[in-house]
Amino acid sequence: MKNKPRILITNDDGVHAPGIRYLWEALHEIADLTIVAPQTEQSATGLSITLRSPLRLEKLNWSNGIVAWSVNGTPSDCVKLGLNIVFNEKPDLIVSGINRGTNAGRNALYSGTVAAAIEGVLHGIPAIAFSCHDYWDTDYTTANKHIPSIVEHVLKHPLPNGTLLNVNFPSKELEQIRGYKMTRQGMAYWTEDLAERFHPAEKHTYYWLGAKLAEFNEIEDCDIAWLKKGYVTAVPIHVNELTDHQHLESRKNVFEALF
Amino acid sequence: MKNKPRILITNDDGVHAPGIRYLWEALHEIADLTIVAPQTEQSATGLSITLRSPLRLEKLNWSNGIVAWSVNGTPSDCVKLGLNIVFNEKPDLIVSGINRGTNAGRNALYSGTVAAAIEGVLHGIPAIAFSCHDYWDTDYTTANKHIPSIVEHVLKHPLPNGTLLNVNFPSKELEQIRGYKMTRQGMAYWTEDLAERFHPAEKHTYYWLGAKLAEFNEIEDCDIAWLKKGYVTAVPIHVNELTDHQHLESRKNVFEALF
């Protein structure tokens, strides 16, 4: 009998968040899962890593005798400690999520969920990030149902070195999902929505960063647009080289002549 | 007389770090500078933003009557609060640095210095990140000397929407600098270098993440390679769309047929 694929699962909503429990449910029959996830919520921490404070890796009874590892750090920290301490050999895949709230468009840049996948890719391990569009009243059951076939697809059709798959589920119930789209990354993202408050005792102003959707004229074939139409979207995101080649070619000579 | 360009300066080493003082020195004669920088060091925080705790924006006497604003958050938080609270109109440019330690290659993904520039670009403001290769015994004088002409170049030859300039200075004294290279992003990056310790009172193991350089067979025309040869490097980095188009085209049909 062929061994099951070995998968490190993590997230940015914390080891006890509902999303990672749905992820475990979706994959535990088809894969050998190891959970290494943040002790507390780490949303919007991007590819932050913890250099200035000590990290603990704690084994815990996650659910009905299932063991999980928690880390008092970011999703990237979890992947780093998982790969170095928990795994003897590299896992076959890293799966991050299921995130509460969309990581479509340029939200991927801020997302801790996607960052865990980036960290995997930098270590040469294929990685998938799963997110649900809805932040409020998130319904993970649609994602849960579709995740096994998407994971099996990635295991069968490997991602190139340096590329992760960023999957988002639309705000639809299972029977309303219209299909899968592998597509381009859109432009929309959550930008700040500042709220000013006054500290009653310390007598100073402070701010809550908040979030509101910055919308753009999107092309039709992008994750933002397909999600609105009820499709599950998958964007292959590459992180090895982000050079703007067009600008490089057009400005190289002028720039280098400055010296 | 033409007005001076208005520049928001920030960093990830903190508002009192030496690098931002050298940056101010380099630019204060040619531009109208406003400092909005983190209260404490925020190295390797990537594009992290602070959603779960309140942010303060404090005006401080930075040096000889010069005012600066500090934020108890990340470089991205500084840019967000700066643009929303401190500036009435968008600045002409955001300049981040001078960072202590290299942000060449894929370090750019983790860098708080580069993240401040990404945050600017997402707000439609051109941005430059400056970093010195050396983390120990950092000598900012070379950077200081070259920064004015690079900033003036960017103001004269605008960056495309969605692109920032990531500039790194080599580990060389001023007279040893061989030239400027506008080039591609290399592959090398600082990866974890874990150290295990034991807490004497609490009797548990903990870890310091640490950092060691992960090296790759680099192409000759990339920032990592030119820095080693003594050149100042500038990589235009685009953040609007990170789609791996080649993978998308090759797998689109197979993926969509899964549904």
How far apart are alpha carbons A103 and B88 in whole angstroms? 31
A47: nearest CB among B57, B110, B122? B110
Distance from CA of B76 to the nearest CA of A (A): 10
Letter string b/e over residues A145-169, b meaning 16 or more CB atoms within 10 A of that residue's CB: ebbeebbebbbeeebeebbbbbbbb
Whether the per-residue pLDDT at A51 is higher than 60: the answer is: yes
Query: At residue A236, what is the residue type?
Result: P
* Class at the top of the CATH hierarchy for domain B6-186+218-256: alpha beta
Q: Which stretches does DSSP call E strand in chain B?
A: 6-10, 32-38, 57-63, 66-71, 93-100, 127-132, 163-169, 179-182, 189-191, 195-198, 205-208, 212-214, 231-238
Q: pLDDT per residue over B27-45, tens digit each?
A: 999 999 999 999 999 999 9
Distance from CA of B41 to the nearest CA of A (A): 9
The answer to whether B48 contacts A44, with C-beta atoms less than 8 Å apart, is yes
**A69, A82 contact by CB (below 8 A):** yes
Assign A83 to helix, strand or coil. helix
Q: Residue A226: left (phi > 0), alpha (psi -120 to 50), or beta?
A: alpha
**pLDDT on residue B1:** 53
> Which residue on chain A is closest to B207 by alpha carbon?
A55
Complex prediction ipTM: 0.96
Q: How far apart are the first and last CA of chain B?
A: 64
Q: pLDDT per residue over A140-169, tens digit each?
A: 999 999 999 999 999 999 999 999 999 999
Distance from CA of B127 to the nearest CA of A (A): 14
The answer to whether A49 contacts B46, with C-beta atoms less than 8 Å apart, is yes
How far apart are alpha carbons B156 and B149 in whole angstroms? 10
B255: nearest CB among A153, A246, A248? A153
How far apart are alpha carbons A184 and A181 in whole angstroms? 9
Assign A59 to helix, strand or coil. strand
Is the model's pTM score more than 0.90? yes
Tokens of A19: 């999303």
Distance from CA of B156 to the nearest CA of A (A): 11
Letter string b/e over residues A74-89, b meaning 16 or more CB atoms within 10 A of that residue's CB: bbbbbbbbbbbbbeee
Show residues of chain B in contact with A145, CB under 8 Å: none
Q: Can you give the residue ranges of every domain in chain A?
A: 6-186+217-256
Fold of A6-186+217-256: Stationary-phase Survival Protein Sure Homolog; Chain: A, (3.40.1210)
Q: What percent of chain A has pLDDT over 90?
A: 97
Tokens of B92: 């002409």
The predicted model gives B164-172 an average pLDDT of 96
Half-sphere exposure of A92 (CA within 13 A, CB side): 16
**pLDDT on residue A143:** 93
How far apart are alpha carbons B70 and B75 in whole angstroms? 10
The answer to whether B248 contacts A44, with C-beta atoms less than 8 Å apart, is no
Show residues of chain A in contact with B153, CB under 8 Å: 254-255, 258
